[in-house]
Amino acid sequence: MAIQKPTLPKGTRDFGPLQMARRNYIFGIIKDTFKLFGYQQLETPSMENLSTLTGKYGDEGDQLIFKILNSGDYLKDVSVSDLGAGAGATLSKVSEKGLRYDLTVPFARYVVMNRNEISYPFKRFQIQPVWRADRPQRGRYREFYQCDADVVGTDSLVCELEILLMIKRVFAQLGLNDYAIKLNNRKILTGLAEVIGAAGRESELCVAIDKLDKIGWEKVQEELLQRGFVQEAIDKLNPIISLQGSNKEKLDFLSSFLVDSETGLKGIGELREVFDLLGKYGESEEFVDFDVVLARGLSYYTGAIFEVKVNNVSIGSVSGGGRYDNLTGVFGLEGVSGVGFSFGVDRIYDVLEELGLFPEKQLDGTEVLITYFDEQGRDYGLKVLSQLRSNLVSAELYPDAAKIKKQFTYADKKQIPFVIILGSEEIEKGQVSLKNLSTGSQESLSLESAIDTVKSSMLNHGS
Amino acid sequence: MAIQKPTLPKGTRDFGPLQMARRNYIFGIIKDTFKLFGYQQLETPSMENLSTLTGKYGDEGDQLIFKILNSGDYLKDVSVSDLGAGAGATLSKVSEKGLRYDLTVPFARYVVMNRNEISYPFKRFQIQPVWRADRPQRGRYREFYQCDADVVGTDSLVCELEILLMIKRVFAQLGLNDYAIKLNNRKILTGLAEVIGAAGRESELCVAIDKLDKIGWEKVQEELLQRGFVQEAIDKLNPIISLQGSNKEKLDFLSSFLVDSETGLKGIGELREVFDLLGKYGESEEFVDFDVVLARGLSYYTGAIFEVKVNNVSIGSVSGGGRYDNLTGVFGLEGVSGVGFSFGVDRIYDVLEELGLFPEKQLDGTEVLITYFDEQGRDYGLKVLSQLRSNLVSAELYPDAAKIKKQFTYADKKQIPFVIILGSEEIEKGQVSLKNLSTGSQESLSLESAIDTVKSSMLNHGS
């Protein structure tokens, strides 16, 4: 067999020890927060039937689902006339399964299949990879993790409050302080369409307004004209586009602006209640910014819409979500209202790296490396190793009697903070020499004292 | 669109909150142990190029790899003459990627691609799902997790010692005491083939002997005859098949039995050293059982071979591994020796369930549910909720002012140990009523005292 130089598939990555430690640091904070708020973990299979996946993400989404070839003679149902008919025509003959494209559709499928066992309200979180056959580019991968939390089976706005609180806690724990949670409500967008005389066209309005940040009001107006909105209607939006002030001031303005839209006023009322609940929980609302032009593309939101942006970094949105009133309808279960959101872990990773916010001691792992010169040292080292681990100190014995410099280089590369050196003197006295690699200090100690020193250093580093 | 009743693909499973809590319990113990021993985590992509995967698992294995359909017009290179030519002929035209089949080949690929950045000895662990298009049956799934730990870049037998110690620690932490680690050495099997006059045929010998447990010595002899071993050679194996005694007694017998095989004696020497290291670490060897007929199918082992069986349960092997001297050779990097093993988490799960060994409090999560009767109760509850979470007590406020019975049912189903009840009396006094759902006791307390009560209960349950 010819020897091949191995490569990775386009758009995929290995995560070595340092990246894993950093990713686990982020996952850990997110998971702890979800649990503190009473969310329970769910995992669904990587593969779903294509019948479950297709038709849920739009035509473009369907194209981007990775399909799995049927086992065995997969071409047996393909006929000569199928060749040249294009990919869509024969897909059902060669593939019946696809890879998970997001965590929302599998969650909806789970709820429908387990509707009678679930106790509502059902608060679930899910942290798993998803796959998309997108063209790979910087910051966009074909395999990436999503971290979702959703609660279904209640329309209480306490759930919206809790999402704001969870985002706040995660960002505080990560040391990310300069960010804003943008908050809007789909019903307000519906109301806007009504009062400008374009009732029922809020989806088109949203698609155009969604680009305000990127292309500016001028170009958004052009797009609205092209989509058939009349100039008179567009002009009515002017005060909305330039809306400034505190959350309360903006809500007060909207209350009169939307006075003729029952739905719009309902949206205002919901937002007011969320801010009210925030105050009752004892939180200031300054980290939440009511943004009347926040639309987010997804058309299934029916109430609150969230988006989180970190300020002064090159990366855009790192989290988002909203309320939907009919998540499971497509699988035949109507009337399940819910609200959820997602953390973009890859983007949060990039933000923390850009801002230098990862903890100094990154490689969680070995605290002590035991080094030695000969077989006698190794044998003594085995006893030392056993004692360290019994005391829950992560420790290694260098496996070979290599040159001491080589053993120290190993400790250095692995960011191991302490080295124990076992020479003939230490063995004779029944002691150990403990060297702190960051301060350079070294002392001869009883093993018990060495363990105490290492353990108190672990406590200080929070490891 | 017609509404479909959703189903799961054959051989795949959802893991709901209870299963996830139990699985995380197992994963947590395994991960902690790997880290205590200085192993670092690696994750590789779910997809690998087919050129990386094929040819590594035998013909049958190649069939069982899930292949991913190329994006776009995947049939464009398929010709009329390809139809009916069978699956193998056209595969390279429609698919270039497959799903991970195990964790060993991706690890070898990673080592080769990162050979210059890695500091050796490289101790890595990896916990990820793998996929096999096997026929699903009880206990066999198409998606399942593997938990591997390997160390490469050293042939020190300290690594073999550490694998025994890691297995012992994981089983002790899981409360699994009645098990045995079977240990053998491939060189001993090589030596056996030599001394019975069938030098170089240890692979065939292994395949047959591997079935001893299942089909008995009589049938194994038949198979050996069929494979062309002569009766005289087979008869020489008799004392080996019936070998009894302590590890030392068995090794002593083998030392004379294999006296004419240099390789065989080397294997004996390696095993003796592993037992010796175990003693120097301060461990008795009674949990390790030298088993001269342990072969395991995999032909790439060159030294130690491990297998773990739990006694008195219906499930067989739950862990296994061994030393290999040429893991990365197939990717062009020669001479990388390593040793590794794998925990079968799905099987360990079944064993713990069969023996009733999962902890009593299984659903890690919410410690306190706050219940109330009206809006005034909810508003007071929000403050209570905020205090509980600031004290790192996982807590929920029931989101709607539902009937109190419904709120209690929710706590019950979610195994929440404490309920706080907020009626008008509690609100007036600025207190809370705390009910312990397992004892049924209820008392009126200050919020601070209630938090203390819950926290000391959490400590007792180790959550």
- With helix as H, strand as E and coil as C, how does chain B read? CCCCCCCCCCCCCCECHHHHHHHHHHHHHHHHHHHHCCCEECECCCEEEHHHHCCCCHHHHHHHCCEEECCCCCCCCCCHHHCCCCHHHHHHHHEEEEECCCCHHHHHHHHHHCCCCCCCCEEEEEEEEEECCCCCECCECCEEEEEEEEEECCCCCHHHHHHHHHHHHHHHHHCCCCEEEEEEEHHHHHHHHHHCCCCCCHHHHHHHHCCHHHHHHHHHHHHHHHCCCCHHHHHHCHHHHCCCCCHHHHHHHHHHHCCCCHHHHHHHHHHHHHHHHHHHHCCCCCCEEECCCCCCCCCCCCCEEEEEEECCCCCCEEEEEEEECCCCHHHCCCCCCEEEEEECHHHHHHHHHHHCCCCCCCCCCCCEEEEECCHHHHHHHHHHHHHHHHCCCCEEECCCCCCHHHHHHHHHHCCCCEEEEECHHHHHHCCEEEEECCCCCEEEECHHHHHHHHHHHHHHHCC
> Residue A304: what are its φ and ψ, rounded to 5°?
-55, 145
Residue A75 CB neighbours (<10 A): 26
Rounded CA separation B338/B110 (Å): 14
Please tell me what DSSP assigns to residue A5.
-
Q: Which CATH architecture has domain B17-355?
A: 2-Layer Sandwich (3.30)
Q: Is the pTM of this model over 0.80?
A: yes
Residues (pLDDT < 70) of chain A are: 1-4, 84-89, 297-299, 363, 461-463
Residues 6 or more apart from A449 whose CB is under 8 A from it?
A: none
Strands B368-372 and B338-343: unpaired
Query: Which residue of B35, B121, B394 is in closest CB contact with A36?
Result: B394
| Interface check B92 vs A, CB under 8 A | no
The DSSP element (H or E) to which A392 belongs, if any, is: none
Determine contact, residues A200/A307, Cβ cutoff 8 Å: no
Evaluate whether B36 touches B169 at the Cβ level (below 8 Å): yes
Neighbour tally for B282: CB within 10 Å: 12
Choose among A40, A74, A83: nearest Cβ to B365. A40
Phi and psi torsions of A280, nearest 5°: -65, -30
Please report which residue ranges of A210-246 form alpha helices under DSSP H: 212-226, 231-236, 238-241
Q: CB of B144 within 8 Å of any CB in chain A?
A: no
The predicted pLDDT at position B297 comes to 66
- B373: CB partners within 8 A, 6+ apart: B401, B404, B422, B423, B424
Q: Looking at chain A from residue 399 to 418, which residues have their Cβ under 8 Å from any Cβ of chain B?
A: 399-400, 409-410, 413-414
- Check if B245 contacts A (Cβ < 8 Å): no
Q: Map residue A369 onto helix, strand or coil.
A: strand
Q: A207 is written with which tokens?
A: 């698609």
Residue ranges matching CATH 3.30.930.10 in chain B: 17-355
B49 at the A interface (CB within 8 A)? yes
Q: Any CB–CB contact under 8 A between B394 and chain A?
A: yes
Q: Is A332 touching B (CB cutoff 8 A)?
A: yes
A92 touches chain B (CB under 8 A): no
How far is the C-alpha of B382 from the C-alpha of B385, rounded, in Å? 5
Per-residue 3-state assignment (H helix, E strand, C coil) for A36-85: HCCCEECECCCEEEHHHHCCCCHHHHHHHCCEEECCCCCCCCCCHHHCCC
Q: How high is the pLDDT of residue A85? A: 67
- φ and ψ of A360, to 5 deg: -60, -50
For residue A312, give the 3-state DSSP assignment.
Answer: coil
- How many angstroms separate the CA of residue B235 from the nearest CA in chain A? 38
Q: How many CB atoms lie within 10 A of CB B59?
A: 9
- For residue A14, the model assigns a pLDDT of 97
Assigned token pair, A294: 């926040």
Residues 6+ apart with CB under 8 A from B246: none
Q: Which residue has the tokens 């789970």?
A: A110
- Phi/psi for A310 (5° steps) reads -90, 130
Question: Are A114 and B280 a contacting pair at CB < 8 A?
Answer: no
- In 3D space, the residue among B292, B275, B273, B322 whose CA is nearest the CA of residue B192 turns out to be B292
CA distance B216 to chain A (A): 35
Q: What is the DSSP letter of A9?
A: P
Q: List chain B pLDDT tens, one digit each, 463 residues.
A: 456 689 999 999 999 999 999 999 999 999 999 999 999 999 999 999 999 999 888 888 899 999 999 987 777 777 777 776 666 667 778 899 999 999 999 999 999 999 999 989 999 999 999 999 999 887 789 999 999 999 999 999 999 999 999 999 999 999 999 999 999 999 999 999 999 999 989 888 888 888 888 899 999 999 999 999 999 999 999 999 889 999 999 999 999 999 999 999 999 999 999 999 999 999 999 999 999 988 876 567 899 999 999 998 887 789 999 999 888 888 989 889 999 999 999 999 999 999 999 987 776 789 999 999 999 999 999 999 999 999 999 999 999 989 999 999 999 999 999 999 999 999 999 999 999 999 999 999 999 999 999 999 888 765 4
- The whole-number pLDDT of residue B29 equals 97
Q: Which of A65, A66, A169 to mutate to test the interface with B (most CBs of B within 10 A)?
A: A66
CA gap B226, B206 in Å, rounded: 14
A-B contacts at Cβ under 8 angstroms: 295
Q: Out of A6, A394, A413, whose CB is closest to B38?
A: A394
CA closest to A87 among chain B residues:
B73
Residues of B in contact with A113 (CB under 8 A): 6-8, 14
Q: Where in chain B is the domain with CATH 3.40.50.800?
A: 368-460
Question: Is A109 close to B21, i.e. CB distance below 8 A?
Answer: no
| Chain-chain contact of A9 with B392 (C-beta, under 8 angstroms) | no
Whether the CB of A284 is below 8 Å from some CB of chain B: the reply is no
Tell whether B131 lies on the interface with A, counting CB pairs under 8 A.
Answer: yes
In this complex, do B41 and A35 lie within 8 Å of one another by their Cβ atoms? no
What's the gap in Å between the CA of B145 and the closest CA on chain A?
11
Contact B124, B93 (CB under 8 A): no
From B380, B313, B382, select the one nearest B350 (Cα to Cα).
B313
Least CB-CB distance to A13: which of B13, B45, B51?
B45
Q: Which CATH superfamily is domain A368-460 in?
A: Anticodon-binding domain (3.40.50.800)
Nearest beta carbon to residue B331 from set A3, A158, A396: A3
ipTM of the complex: 0.92
Nearest to B7 among A49, A129, A330 (CB): A49
Terminal Cα distance for chain B, rounded = 47
Q: Give the integer Cα–Cα distance in Å for A78 and B429.
A: 76
Quote the Cα angle for B451-B455-B458, to 5°. Answer: 145
How far is Cα B398 from Cα B395, in angstroms, rounded to an integer? 10
Judged by CB atoms closer than 8 Å, whether chains meet at A75 and B52 is answered as no
**Pairwise CA distance, residues B432 & B10, whole Å:** 50
C-alpha distances out from residue B417 to B364, B454, B455, Å: 11, 9, 12
Cβ contact B15:A43 at 8 Å: yes
B73 inside 8 A of chain A by CB: yes
| Cβ pair B290, B247 in contact under 8 A | yes
Contacts of A21 in chain B (CB under 8 A): 40-41
- Cβ <8 Å between B6 and A331: yes
Asked if A122 reaches chain B (Cβ–Cβ under 8 Å), the answer is: no
**Do B165 and B281 touch, CB atoms closer than 8 A?**
yes
Nearest to B399 among A158, A392, A414 (CB): A158
Q: Tokens 């490289």 label which residue?
A: B122
End-to-end CA, chain A: 47
Angstroms from A31 CA to nearest CA on chain B: 11
